[in-house]
Chain A
Amino acid sequence: MKEFNVINSRVPRVDARAKVTGDARYTADLSMPNMLYGALLQSPHAHAKILNIDTSAAKKLIGVKEVVTAKEASPIKFGLSPARYDEMMFCMEKVRYVGDEIAAVAAVDPDTAMEAISLIKVDYEELPAYFNIFDAMKEGAMLIHDDYPGNINAEVHQEFGNVEEAFKQCDYIRTDKFVNKKQDGAFIEPQACLANYDMDGNLILYSSTQAPHYVQRILSMVLNVPIGKVRVVKPYVGGGFGPKASASTLELTACFLSMKTGRPVKMVFNREQVFMHSRARHQFFHELTTGVKKDGTLVALKNTCYLDGGAYSSFGIATIYYAGSLLGAPYKLPNMKYDGYRVCTNTPTCGAQRGHGGVAARAAWEQQLDIIAEELKMDPVEFRLKNIMQRGDVTCNDFNMSSLGMKECLEAVRDGSEWGKKKGKLPKGKGIGVACGFFVSGAGYPIYRSDTFHSTAMIKLSEDGGTADLYTASAEIGQGSDTILSMIAAEAMGIRYENVKIHSGDTDFGVDLGAYSSRQTLMSGHAVKMAGEDVKRQVLGVLSNTLKIPIEDMDIKDGFIIFKKGNVDFSGLRSYYIKEHRGWTDQPAGDKLTFKEAARIAYLEKGVVVGGGAYKPGELGGKYKGATVGTSPAYGCSAQVVEVTVDMETGKITVDNMTDAHDCGFAINRTNVEGQMQGSLSMGLGEALFEEVKFDPNGKVANATLGEYRIPTALDMPNVKTIIVESDEPNGPFGAKEVGEGAIMPTIPAILNAVYDAVGVRINELPITSERIFMALKDKEKK
């Protein structure tokens, strides 16, 4: 049994006070002297040629300081994957969706900026627009991008084992289709940024982002400013869930306008712009064929998926791979084939969202597994347990499950929900369902090809020894990384949590790829742990010289120096410290030497006590094309049981109970782990029951408000029983791995399976609205 003083506890978040009191400043709260406000002109058409742009009236408006279009802006293309840089700051020849950016204005106040936008005249020639992949793929359809023939933005073809041969060995094979709907990230804080370019050529951007590092690189590349002169700062962020993990035209424009005017420029999205910018979950059309033996052994899976990607690539190249690679596990499956096609349409661009690429696939497959279990007359839990992977197993696509508490999770939710008493025994209208899932604990590779470190960290001790300043470029976006990293730093140094002061989310503090792919606890955590251990070593080193005690005979715990070989006379040290701080009221006392005293001695000796850490993953599996998407140093996993009531007269579903078990390797902060589990369930519940971005006939988002795009309210959340499983991940700091995204995987299919158990209809299309259930029940009656 390991013993810890800080981690594995439930200490309050470091940002709790600031957030609860309203003291926390988000980007939209910031202002600077002499600041201008920027606004964007966005396309009203889904697909149109730009014939002419007349900005003369806008330029003449009093209070307008700058008007820019593609003519003035950088022609350098950007995006996320360098292989598919297909976006420009402003549209050059044509617009590709309602909301595509055409021009921008900087003015003395927001009203003037908006008025100037309305004065810009654009002549368009409308082109045929495609709002679904089937129209976009039709022969003769006009190309949305010249580079993507047939409007196919990317294709993936992978086969592990031999699926056709394997199907021949199967006793039972079935094929099912499944489709979800485009999602919105629905974070509470719309994107906002504030740029300031000074006369020395330094560019600072404050931005509501998940990935300061990627934003910094894109700003540097597109605006041609040396990377050392670009600083991206992330203030408090009100959620991201994926869509904020890349640089955007909003950020580039604010910077560009600041460079043109020499004044700070602030830009803020309204809610409709959040929906138009999107970069949230794709629409996936899956067709899955699964083959099994009579005894329930899984043998082969064929997965075909068409993704509606919207107008540009964004994260889509990763998404298309994830839609294939995140199946198979957590079950032993020797044969798997995947064919993926990402198609461009004239709709907002899709990107990454919690459970990136895998959520729809998981929903489709876990529902199909339930159908198969029923067909084989096996209990769904037993069927899953029969095929379950365990620690040390490697998937057919070479994912190494270096730790995997999947079996423990499944057994925990089975027992925690009293599955045995309920399954098959509930009255009509009530149902229970189960599902499993897994997710990467950090992308194994950066989104651009590089040998860069993924995370660096630096810890500096204050001269009095009382405070450790932790510098990391990681991104706290509400998920709690500042808390986790402070805890890890404290534990690694052996000091108290409250003596760590974290400084994060600033590219001046180091390199960190940011908050996406559930990577920061593992990766930033490693770097911070190394930095903490480095500091500890340095302090003990100086102490060793001073007291003439070997380093190995000392340790630091809970803020005190431990002398392993019994008591040591440190009275000289103490009086030295006290003399140095004459007049201070918080002098050290007691019979233990404090870290503070030791650190002061280290300071007096070295002047600078700074520890450093840097992490990148070691060698990962997979030599095939696309192996860089999905391979990770570790995998988190989870199981859920959901209980529902369905009103047979209206079709309305009420989720009564959720039992969730997640293997996070090791819980650095138990409350935070549970918070991520609850948040994932809520997001999954919304996607299952309510959420869908809808479009009007012209391709404009028809429900671009949080009134008509429905995320669950507190009153829609059932009782949730959260069970933490800890499998001690060898590749994680203190054994920790992800919980941020994996926890969403089983939610949707567990609800689908529970609904089937309640009313006997299978729904293959999300969201499962009351209307969809009602109609399905009616159809069933007819048959």
Chain B
Amino acid sequence: MHLEQRLYETFGYRTFRLGQKEIIEDVLAKNDVLAMLPTGGGKSVCYQLPGYVLSGSVLIVSPLVSLMEDQVQQLKMRGEKRVIALNSFLPDEMKKRALANLQHFRFIYASPEILQSPLWQKALKQIAISLFVVDEAHCISQWGHDFRPDFLKLGAIRRELGNPPCLALTATATKDVRNDIIETLQLTNVRQHLYSVDRPNIAIQVECVDSVDEKLARVLHYAKTLQGPGMIYASSRQWTEVLARKLEAEGIEGVAYYHGGMDSEQRMLVQHQFLCDQLQLVCCTNAFGMGVNKENVRYVVHFHLPSQLEAYVQEIGRAGRDGKNSLAILLYTHGDEDMVQSLIEAELPTEEQVRLFMAYGNDVRSMVEINEVQWRLLHYMVEKERTKARTVEEIIANIQAAIEARKHWKRSKLRQMRSFLFQPFCLREQIVSYFEQRLEKKPAHCCNRCTFSLDSYQFKRQDEPVRAFRGWEEELKRMFWNEEYT
């Protein structure tokens, strides 16, 4: 069967998007493949379609449980029943059934942590894995923008599973990071498919203003004039709340905030409301976005500058997944980098945490406040040093040095991000050259260093009337009652 025909029958698309077919052909030929596709470029088709051609199961490793669940949900919506997500929240009953029938599943999603479990390893070893997929593969590299130490062990796990062909996928990996991926996963004769990170339908604007108040005024202006739905990224939880309240107070409807400190159900409600266009605007931290598969986001505003260009490219990439014209606007005011700098440093373990961890191990969590990122890094560094250094003092000194090196590296990443704002060159060209690529063609609406200006980019906000709430009795009746069937 032709691949196109298979694509149409399974996914309902007539044609492949850029790069998909070439990647799939290499995967089906059982080559190791490293693929870099632009954000929203249809990465999942690259392993889901082979899942219907190859015999055996496709194992997909993904960094975030929520990301995994989204993918599983989408597959199920398409009628695929033979899919499962392995994570530590799986109820016992299902776990038992899954362990017994693992070969039954066409797609097995797993977190790297669960792959450490001997129980699951044993079960996976006994079935035929036709393809080993690593999603968001930049998480492998210590120098990737979202380093997950657990990803480092994937090379060994792949070997354990009898070295099935591997497909590593990412949207944002510089050359160094790509080399790290190849080395860690031990890819041999790797076929690299590197497509441009550029998203031509997203116009890019950077604005430097005099004060925070002016930034707020700009945000308000955009919320009033731009066609939604939109997203506003801020660096801290507190700022997302401040922004949402401010916009609401100014009469903007359909605004909510989203951050990692919220109750999980409330967070889900906001995400679903946004997906269903019940909300026009979400003020969020970078906790929002991964796995949110919303096609019609028309603009992304950055109220603070991201800590590095990779993160920026990921975040603006949530706009315009439907291919229609969209906007990315970054607002900067003097001193923003200091705030970002202190947030970055708060993600590194402190000397006190290192000392306490060496003395008390995991109990340290009930002694001092320690966030998730600090915890991951601390674990990774101590584990790594313990195999080399001899005395505790030596380990502590080495870790201190490693933390300093990381701080240094993060600072230089932030400097690059900042210089992106101030270089007098085309913003799009700067992004592309950061990933050692070249821009083939500039779109008509490029960036505010080129010919593009917001005025020529006509947007008009049309607010749809919000359905009024007519009391609980009426609401309950509407829920369960369909007049067509009575």
- The answer on A and B forming one complex is no
- Chain B contacts to A: CB under 8 angstroms: none
